[in-house]
Each structure stands twice: as C-alpha cells, then as structure tokens.
Amino acid sequence: MSRRGMLGFCRDNDDRDELKKWMWGLRKYEEAERMAGCSKLQVPDFNIPDRAPWPEDCGLMEHEEGLWRTWEPRRQRLVQRSKVKWKRIMKEREKQRQFQFAQLRLAHQKCKVQKVNIYWGQGMLREVALESPWL
C-alpha cells in the first residue's frame, strides 16, 4: 500500500468510515455540480449505508484496505506510543504551569501596594491600588 494514500492517515475503523463518507460526499457534490443546469438540484446526502463500496476505483481501494488491515497491529502500537508521549507532554506542561503560577505568586508577594488618589478638577475621582516591585 502506498504510504501516501489517504487511507494511510486513518488510525482505526472509525477514521476509515469517516474517510469513506467524506469521499462519497465529494462524489455526490461533484455530481450535483455537474447537474447544476438542472432545476432538480438537491443537497448531497452524506449518509451512506454501512456496507457501501468505495466511490473511487473500488477494486484498488479494497486492495488498499486489505493491506491497511494487515498493518493494523503496528498502527495501533504507534497510536498507543503517541498517546503515552502526549500524556508525558501534558504532565510536563502542567508542571510548567504550576511553576509559573508559583513564580507569579512569589512576585506578587514581593510587590508593594500603594494607594493613589486620582483627582479630576476639584474633587477626587477614584482611589487606585498600584503594585510595583520597585517601590
């Protein structure tokens, strides 16, 4: 099977079914576009039967699907490996977020808060609390 084929992007049967629906939708859209001159133009129906064949070159796609199925254990191992890597990345990112939050909290504790009155004309408009680590 050509690794550049669209079926190579599918991780499992759900992805394969979505690809098939997408291909059928494109086929129906192309047919609707071709029949654009007709007055009975309908929106393509993306619902296809479960056992529908592939819309393009059915024999070739069934052959590719058979090859795709033979590589399923390897593909599932790769998906699992990717999930483990992603989980590790998310744990590391959570540690980074906690560290940054702790740094911000520490910086906030070091800041001095000064209250400043803002005047406009004769009277006071507002009292504002300003934080500054340099004061």
Higher pLDDT, 20 or 82: 82
State residue 96's pLDDT score: 94
Q: Which residue has the higher pLDDT, 4 or 10?
A: 10
Q: Distance between CA atoms of 104 and 59, rounded to whole angstroms?
A: 61
- Confidence at 26, pLDDT banded by 50, 70, 90: confident
Instruction: Flag whether pLDDT at 67 surpasses 90.
Output: no
If you average pLDDT over residues 94-116, what whole number do you get? 82
End-to-end CA distance of the chain: 69
Residue 135 has pLDDT above 50, yes or no: no
Asked whether residue 98 carries a pLDDT value surpassing 70, the answer given is: yes
